[in-house]
Amino acid sequence: MEKATVAYTVDRKGYHLFIEEVPAYVCSQCGERYFEEKEVAAIQDMIEALEEKLQAILVVA
């Protein structure tokens, strides 16, 4: 495992989220990425906030 920064992408419910330079551990053999708990929590918080904003937009529209 090597410490690195990687891009994180997710496609959900009609949107595409791309986050650059997320700290992660990357397997030197297979390239699998592993994130620490604090990074996972931050990503989940971003997704939750984005979905709340999208809901507000859809309700108004």
CATH number, domain with residue 47: 3.10.20
Task: Give the range of the structural domain holding residue 10, as residue numbers without chain letter.
Answer: 2-60
Provide the CA 57 distance to its chain's centre, in angstroms.
21
Residue 29, token pair as written in the block: 């053999």
Q: How much is the pLDDT for 21?
A: 97
- When pLDDT is cut at 50, 70 and 90, the band that residue 61 belongs to is low
38 has a pLDDT exceeding 70: yes
- When pLDDT is cut at 50, 70 and 90, the band that residue 60 belongs to is low
β-partners of residue 35 are none
Lookup result for tokens 């996972």:
40
Burial class of residue 33 in the structure, from the number of CB atoms within 10 Å of its CB (0-12 exposed, 13-18 middle, 19+ buried): middle
Whole-number Å distance between alpha carbons of 17 and 46: 9
- pTM for the structure as a whole: 0.79
Coil/strand/helix, residue 12? strand
Count of residues in the chain: 61
Q: What is the tally of structural domains in the chain?
A: 1
